[in-house]
Each structure stands twice: as C-alpha cells, then as structure tokens.
Amino acid sequence: MELSLENKTAIVTGGSRGIGLGIAKAFHDAGGNVMLTSRKAEGLREAIESLGGGERLHYATGHVGHAEDAVRVVDETIAHFGGVDVLVNNAATNPHAGPMIDCEVSKFDKTFEVNLRGPFVWTQYAYERWMKEHGGSVINISSSGGYQTSAALGVYCVLKAALMQMTKQLAAEMGPAVRVNAIAPGLIRTDFARVLWDGERGDQIAQMYPMKRLGEPSDIGDAALWLAAGAPWVTGVTIPVEGGELVSVESELELS
C-alpha cells in the first residue's frame, strides 16, 4: 500500500524530537505539509534541519497545556498551509515517579494539563476552525502503560488510559467527518524514556518482548501514517505498537 499525504497538512505537537519527530518524518516523506510545535524554537529549528528543510515544513512554538497556544498554532497553520487535515497530539510530560498515592497535587495537575486536557483543547480548536467543515484525522499518542498498573508511573498510566477513552468518545461525536484514533507505544528509544531503557536494562527488557527489540520513533511514525492516510474506515480505536509487550509471558514490565 502506497500511503500519501500529498496536499494534506498535519500538526505534530512535541514534534522536535523522539516520537513526534519520527511521526513528522513519516508524514513529510509521504508528501505532507508538517507544522511542528513544541516549547523551544531552537529544538524545532534543529528538527526541521534534520528533516531536510523545505517549504513543506514549518514550526511554531507553543505549550500544549496552554489554550491560547493551541489557538495561535492552529491559526498559524491554516494561514501558512491553508488547512489542518491531521492533528497528532503527541506532547507529554511525567513529573512524578513513584506510587500514585504519593503524587503531589501540583504534579498531578501538570500531568493532567499536558497529557489529557491538552489533547482535548487542541482537538476542540482544530475541529472548530477546520475539521468540522472539511474533515480530518486526529491521532492521540497514548501508551501501553494505559493498559496496566505501574509501581513507578501510575499517574502517567492513568491519564494515558483516560486518553484512550477520550479517543473513543470523540470518535463517536466527531464522525463521520473526522476520524479519531490513538496509538499506544511500548518502550521507544527516546530521550523522554531514556531512564527506562539506558544501559543493560534496555537489553533485558527487549528480550522480554516477543519481537526481541525495543521500539524506534519510526515504528510509531509508520503506524501514525497508516492512521492518517490509509485507514478510511478506522475510528475510535487504540492500536498498541509495543513489540508484543502486552502478550509477553515474561515477568511484569514497568514501562510507560
């Protein structure tokens, strides 16, 4: 199947590195226009340079937890490229490690602001400004942790599970013009997850997976491209892309 995003425009939050950059590369390679957004301009400029630059790439700084930034970035995307056909809610944070019951309320609120409220606000505004009339696709980046409990990442996992449920709810409300789906990555080799895979621990975890390797940003990019360009009758689902982590017969894994 040849997947094309020619003449389509995507916004990728958290697009300057890791999974977001992997998705941006897949979309750009498929002919799409890509608006990258994250908090720091320097990282965004470096990301665009790594993708080869050109007129089909643009960036705008923004904090996904700030509604005013959603408004500004969506409007700038429409002004620059003429529309918003795909929204990827990828940006995430994890300020608390340890039992959920011990989480400070301020850290819980920060995680909620970025990991759940952020995707809602960005989706709502992209829908109001463009997708309601023209159609589109929303892709939320959840986590395999959303299917499990975790001794170290409980808050993160709870909100990623909530993101899966929000995906289903919005898909039911926004169809048929807009498809809403999610991807649940397993352990991906990114800086965000480095504490989980760096050193020998990463090799040990990889051996627990049926696929015997950890994920790469390109694995998530491929899945996102299929949802954006090759799945016209798919909506309301979360696709695990996790190397078989969820069916592993090895000991329980503590992964995001």
In whole angstroms, what is the distance from residue 50 CA to residue 70 CA?
Answer: 25
Q: Is 247 exposed, middle or buried (0-12, 13-18, 19+ CB in 10 A)?
A: exposed
pLDDT tens readout for residues 63-96: 999 999 999 999 999 999 999 999 999 999 999 9
Kindly report the average pLDDT of the chain as a whole number: 94
Let me know: does 245 contact 185? Beta carbons within 8 Å.
no
Question: Which helix H or strand E contains 33, and what residues bound it?
Answer: strand 33-38
pLDDT the model gives residue 249: 63
Q: Which residues pair with 140 in a beta bridge?
A: 89, 182
Active site residues: 156
pLDDT the model gives residue 1: 73
Query: Mind listing the pLDDT tens digit of every residue in the chain (256 residues)?
Result: 789 999 999 999 999 999 999 999 999 999 999 999 999 999 999 999 999 999 999 999 999 999 999 999 999 999 999 999 999 999 999 999 999 999 999 999 999 999 999 999 999 999 999 999 999 999 999 999 999 999 999 999 999 999 999 999 999 999 999 999 999 999 998 877 766 657 777 888 888 889 998 999 999 999 999 999 999 999 999 999 999 999 986 544 444 4
For 11, the 3-state DSSP assignment is strand
What angle (nearest 5°) sits at the alpha carbon of residue 191, between those of residues 31 and 243?
70
In whole angstroms, what is the distance from residue 68 CA to residue 63 CA?
Answer: 9
* Structure tokens belonging to residue 226: 């299929």
pTM above threshold 0.85: yes
User: Which of 162, 126, 122, 124 shows the shortest CA–CA distance to 142?
Assistant: 162
DSSP string computed for 44-75: HHHHHHHTT--TTEEEEE--TT-HHHHHHHHH
* Structure tokens belonging to residue 38: 């994250």
pLDDT the model gives residue 197: 59
**Three-state SS across 76-130?**
HHHHHHCCCCEEEECCCCCCCCECHHHCCHHHHHHHHHHHHHHHHHHHHHHHHHH
pLDDT the model gives residue 207: 87
pLDDT the model gives residue 204: 85
Phi and psi based region of residue 53 (left: phi greater than 0; alpha: psi -120 to 50; beta: remaining): left
Task: Write down all domains in the chain, each with its CATH number in brackets.
Answer: 9-241 (3.40.50.720)
pLDDT the model gives residue 255: 47
